[in-house]
Structures are given as structure tokens and as C-alpha cells.
Structure 1
């Protein structure tokens, strides 16, 4: 799992760089032809990781339900994200990664409700979910690299 966590850390630091580089207006801008923005992608990867790893392991997610609903699969930005929420997402980017690593080291992921993703991956364990999460986060990083060209 060392490599999985190393890749994840790299991804999350790249996301953090978007928050630190772009203005609130730029983070919220939905360019023509796109259905979301930079900050939605960041919120999305945070909540999806919690669902994939914690929810399907039968453990409580470490995000509030309203945050999960706002950024879950199938959602789209419906209003401007505030500075306060951007700050919250910034903290969650790294803190939830550290919590997951700690929970994995403490063997908290003992069961898993099998889940098939929309891309056809069949996940049968939290370990597989963490590995798939890197793929998912890389996809969204690619979307963000494309969005930034138009803001």
C-alpha cells in the first residue's frame, strides 16, 4: 500500500496547488462546454473517496452529509462555493488522507460491500477501493488541467 498512498499524496498535493494558485472566482468558473469547475472536482474527489473506502466498508464517512450530497456522483455545481467552503475542502484534502492511512494501519477496514463502479471496476475490498480511488482522482485531475486552460 505504500505506493498507493504515495500516488494519492501526490494527487492531493496537486489539488491543493489548484486551491493555492487560483482565485475564488477562477475556482468557481464553469467554462463554456463544461458541466463543472475546479472546486467541484476537488470536493467530488474528497467525498467519493469517503464513499468508496468508508461507506462500503460499513464505517461512518468523515464528511458531513450535506457536503457529500453536494459533490457526490451525478451532482453538478448549483451555486458559488464560498471562501469558507474552499478553506474546509483545503483542510479535508490532506486531513482525510492522513486519517485513512491511519485507519488502514489500524486495520479498521475489515469488511467491504462489493461495489461496481460506473467505469466497470468491481471493488471487493477497501484496499481495491483505495487503489481505484487513485485512478478516479487522476481522471479528475485531467479534467481540471483541461478546465484551467479556459479560466
Structure 2
């Protein structure tokens, strides 16, 4: 029987992809007034953080295209991105996001309870000590950025 977390991860990811369906490349790269990131950055950030949460802390290889860490990690912004970094297209990001859950499930479905040593404390102060805990925390993280994308779409549609 499939663990509930994989169904929830798929639900949130499908919701994300539905929300960005129809967003143009130009709109995806616009920084709304008063903000420092874009829809494009939020998508890349969701991808990078989920890679890290799913694979890095259990010692599995991450699939991070060149330049993704420099563009999409915590604290980065398209406003300060190094010019030498190759920017992925919106379609490339959407494709990577669409494939990510299947890779995560294949790698972790029988390892959800393995202890992470040492446990990891998130920037929000949450202690994560197993893949299951990382995946459930990712639901919160992705939901926050999904909301930001919805807000950016609304702001940018009025401009």
C-alpha cells in the first residue's frame, strides 16, 4: 500500500503545475514591485529544496542541473544572479518538477523511517530526523511557495 505522503506530494505538485499552466516566460521572469523573486525563481527553488530534502540528507545523489544551486538556493534572487549562470526555461523547470515526485518515491518508498544522523533543523526551526519527516515538511515548504506564485500571478496580471 502506498504511503499517504506520496499521494499528498503528487496532489500539491499537480496543483502547482496547474497554477503555472499558461504563465508566459516573460511573466515568469518579472519581479513584482516590492518583491525580490519571480514565479520562475519560486519554481526553481521548490525543485532545489525538494531535491535536497529527499536525497541529500539520506546520502543519495541529487539531480541538480548546473547552476541551479547558485540560482535557486535559500537567499538567492534573480536580482543578484551571476550573469555567467545559465538560466533554465520555464518549460524546463516545469518538466523537472513534473518528473521529480516519481524519482523521490522510487528512491524513498522503502526508506521513509530510516534515521537521518544527525537530524537537520530547518530555517523555520523544525527538527527533521527521517525521510518521512523531510517529505511531510516539504508539503509546507512547497505550499508556501505555491501561495507566493498565486500572489505574483495576481499582482502581475494587474500591471
Q: TM-score range by the shorter chain?
A: 0.7 to 0.9
Please tell me whether the aligned partners of residues 42 and 89 of structure 1 are also in contact (alpha carbons under 8 angstroms).
Answer: yes
Deviating more after overlay: 15-24 vs 135-144 = 15-24
State the aligned residue count.
151
Gapped regions of structure 1 (runs ≥ 5): none
Return the match for 2:138 from 106, 118, 133. Answer: 133
Deviating more after overlay: 107-116 vs 26-35 = 107-116
CA RMSD of aligned residues (A): 2.5
Matched residue, 1:3: 4
Question: 1:84–1:116: structure 2 CA closer, same or farther, 3 Å change rule?
Answer: closer
> 2: distance between equivalents of 1:103 and 1:109?
13
**1:81-120 equivalence runs, <5 A:** 85-107=89-111, 110=114, 112-113=116-117, 114-120=119-125
Once the 2 structures are TM-superposed, how far is the Cα of residue 34 of structure 1 from its aligned partner? 1.0
Instruction: Provide, for residues 108-148 of structure 1, a one-character-per-residue CA deviation record: whole Å limited to 9, x for no partner.
Output: 98452411011111011111000000010001111111111
Structure (1/2) with the larger helix percentage: 1
Q: Which has the larger Rg?
A: 2
After superposing on structure 2, the runs of 4+ consecutive aligned residues of structure 1 that deviate more than 4 Å are 108-111
**1:18-57 equivalence runs, <5 A:** 18-57=19-58
> 2: distance between equivalents of 1:123 and 1:77?
29
Once the 2 structures are TM-superposed, how far is the Cα of residue 69 of structure 1 from its aligned partner? 2.4
